[in-house]
Amino acid sequence: MAAREGLSLHQERGQDVLIDSHCHVDQFPNPEEIVRGCEKNSIRVVAVTNLPSDFVVAADRLKDNKYVSAAIGMHPLMAAKAIREMSAFRRLIPQIDYVGEIGLDYSPEGVATKAVQNRLFDEVLCSLSDRHRFVTIHSRRAESEVLSRLEAHHIERAVFHWYTGSTSTLDRIVQSGHFISINGAMLRSSNGLTLVRRVPREAILVETDGPFSKIADRQSTPLEVMTVYEKLSAEKGWPLPELIEIVSGNFARAASMIA
């Protein structure tokens, strides 16, 4: 299995492609069709997974693609299963550049496994201490705790995807050098818009989080990521080409192998 699949981030600096920094490609009923569309349209996608076993399958299927890269995940809502795959995560991680989805979830949906999540997240972060990687984070109802653990493990330039926490914690996240990835759902809610307006240009990334986020009442796919760019461009008052350039540069910094 080729772990370092996809286009080098250093190569991407010369071309501002559309970027979807967080999408569950393997959760769609037609992932192969979506990947072909992304390759045809030069849409750069971080294809997150929920478990190492899911990553192994995804990485093998994506190894010959230029724009879509698999990320190894340990999703907090899968903690009971994920804890049994920690040894696989440790075995695979040395040669992997993309990590996600990882994190904590203290919402009613996840709070029952809080203790297991904490143990799992610490073990994952310990495994990432050898070098920088692109890391996309789940932090629902646990935003401050996630930030504290990233700091404790010296994890820099992580991406908080679909952020829903407080403005004060958002400010701390940005001040620490991390990124906020914005999707269509954030641009449709009043709380989401409050947060979006607060994110500075140096911290902005764009995602679909398909199929779990929607665009116009249908599952969002990377092929529709331009819609998120357009809505974000209008909300921020930045010309679309400028926003595309900003996101491309931020993505390169978030994923750069140079500390």
What pLDDT is recorded for position 14? 42
Cβ neighbourhood burial of 129 (10 Å; 0-12, 13-18, 19+):
exposed
Residue 137: strand, helix, or coil: strand
Segment 124-161, tens digit of pLDDT: 999 999 999 999 999 999 999 999 999 999 999 999 99
Segment 4-29, tens digit of pLDDT: 444 333 334 446 899 999 999 999 99
Find the mean pLDDT for residues 230-256.
96
Map tokens 């559309």 to a residue: 18
Round the average pLDDT of the chain to a whole number and report it: 92
Find the mean pLDDT for residues 195-211.
97
- Indicate the pTM of the whole model: 0.92
Segment 41-69, tens digit of pLDDT: 999 999 999 999 999 999 999 999 999 99
What pLDDT is recorded for position 171? 98
Confidence of residue 215 (pLDDT cuts 50, 70, 90): confident
At the topology level, CATH places domain 17-255 in TIM Barrel (3.20.20)
Cis preceding linkage at 211, omega within 30: yes
